[in-house]
């Protein structure tokens, strides 16, 4: 079993084509096809189905891909760690961030980190727990910086708290209840949830329950934090929750307002989340260190 073939399989899934994967690995398509056929012979199982429409993974392929991702991720981390322990600060850190982190601590932390370690590549994407859990679990990501609702986490992951994010209730400026002060007034509103249950969007469900109001009337789930402020600004019928920093930085701020609810809302606890059995590389630890540094300065 050769690591480059495993890397190619992961790329085929990512890019959706054997040709694109071969190109990105500077291989010819026949060479990559031959390598995959050799792996299929070794495993005595077909991994891919090629058709005119493209390439798909068989159920053997999907099962094997989980192992391939772990091995590829682990080999990257092992090489990076050895280089970094030798004093060569190179390699890659892959992380996901929540909107509050992306707009808040991440820019300052990355600035410091890249000044210190310009050769370490950082691959950053959006992501919230629990949706992001599969790519932490399969080793694709080194870690995520995300709220963990009620610290309810699967046992193969660990979370270290950083700080509490401030959540606000937001509506369009012409929403009839934009000046409401009690959650009970918002009971019949059409809510846009910004994450599924167990994500930070669930704070509104928790707040309603705490105040004995049953469940909010959820009419939309919008998991795009780029779209959420725009969607709510475009109509006078929706209310939502979002981190205060997202409201403050939204280009739609003029068309939105914070509903001045006096009942307390839960504050999602933002944590560093990683697989419990995959320690961070020295570089990833340093980046987390910078995040913690700026998190402490906020307190």
Binding residues vs ligand TSU (CB under 6 A): 98-100, 147, 165, 167, 194, 200-201, 203, 241-243, 268, 270
Q: How far is the CB of 10 from ligand TSU (least distance, A)?
A: 28
Q: How far is the CB of 101 from ligand TSU (least distance, A)?
A: 6
Let me know: does 94 contact 140? Beta carbons within 8 Å: yes
Using the minimum distance from each CB to ligand TSU, give the nearer residue, 19 or 125.
125
Contacts of residues 225-234 at CB distance under 8 Å and 24 or more positions apart, as own/partner, are 225/99, 225/126, 225/194, 228/192, 228/194, 229/170, 229/253, 229/256, 231/192, 232/170, 232/171, 232/172, 232/192, 232/256, 233/172, 234/172
Using the minimum distance from each CB to ligand TSU, give the nearer residue, 203 or 233.
203
Q: How far is the CB of 111 from ligand TSU (least distance, A)?
A: 20
Using the minimum distance from each CB to ligand TSU, give the nearer residue, 61 or 243.
243
Q: How far is the CB of 25 from ligand TSU (least distance, A)?
A: 36
Q: Give me the residues paired with residue 146 across strands.
A: 271
238 membership: H or E segment, kind and range? strand 238-243
Q: Give me the residues paired with residue 193 across strands.
A: 221
Which among 79, 92, 1 is positioned nearest to 47, based on CA atoms? 1
Using the minimum distance from each CB to ligand TSU, give the nearer residue, 64 or 294.
294
Q: How far is the CB of 239 from ligand TSU (least distance, A)?
A: 12
CA distance 268 to 274: 18
3-state secondary structure at position 169: strand
- Give phi and psi for 238, each to the nearest 5: -110, 150
Q: How far is the CB of 206 from ligand TSU (least distance, A)?
A: 11
Q: Give me the residues paired with residue 164 across strands.
A: 269
Q: How far is the CB of 245 from ligand TSU (least distance, A)?
A: 7
105 membership: H or E segment, kind and range? helix 105-116
Using the minimum distance from each CB to ligand TSU, give the nearer residue, 91 or 268.
268
Instruction: Give me 165's structure tokens.
Output: 């994010």
Using the minimum distance from each CB to ligand TSU, give the nearer residue, 36 or 204.
204
Using the minimum distance from each CB to ligand TSU, give the nearer residue, 61 or 200.
200
Q: How far is the CB of 270 from ligand TSU (least distance, A)?
A: 6
* N- to C-terminal Cα separation, the chain: 50
Using the minimum distance from each CB to ligand TSU, give the nearer residue, 147 or 172.
147
Let me know: does 239 contact 185? Beta carbons within 8 Å: no
């Amino acid at each position: 079993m050769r690591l480059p073939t495993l890397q190619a399989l992961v790329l085929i899934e990512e890019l959706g084509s054997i040709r694109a994967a071969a190109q990105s690995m500077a291989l010819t398509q026949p060479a990559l096809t031959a390598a995959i056929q050799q792996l299929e012979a070794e495993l005595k199982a077909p991994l891919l189905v090629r058709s005119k429409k493209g390439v798909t993974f068989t159920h053997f392929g999907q099962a094997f891909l989980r192992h391939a991702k772990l091995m590829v991720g682990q080999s990257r981390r092992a090489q990076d760690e050895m280089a970094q322990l030798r004093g060569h600060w190179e390699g890659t850190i892959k992380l996901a961030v929540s909107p509050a982190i992306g707009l808040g601590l991440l820019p300052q932390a990355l600035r410091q980190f890249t000044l210190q370690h310009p050769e370490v590549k950082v691959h950053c994407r959006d992501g919230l727990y629990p949706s992001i859990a599969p790519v932490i679990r399969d080793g694709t990501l080194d870690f995520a910086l995300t709220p963990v609702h009620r610290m309810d986490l699967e046992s193969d992951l660990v979370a270290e708290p950083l700080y509490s994010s401030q959540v606000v209730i937001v509506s369009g400026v012409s929403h009839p209840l934009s000046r409401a002060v009690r959650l009970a007034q918002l009971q019949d509103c059409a809510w846009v949830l910004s994450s599924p249950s167990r994500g930070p969007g669930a704070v509104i469900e928790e707040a309603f329950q705490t105040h004995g109001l049953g469940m909010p009337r959820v009419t939309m789930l919008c998991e795009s934090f780029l779209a959420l402020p725009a969607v709510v600004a475009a109509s006078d019928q929706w209310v939502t929750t979002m981190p205060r920093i997202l409201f403050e930085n939204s280009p739609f701020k003029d068309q939105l307002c914070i509903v001045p609810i006096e009942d307390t809302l839960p504050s999602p606890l933002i944590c560093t989340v990683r697989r419990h059995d995959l320690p961070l590389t020295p570089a990833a630890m340093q980046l987390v260190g910078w995040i913690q540094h700026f998190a402490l300065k906020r307190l």
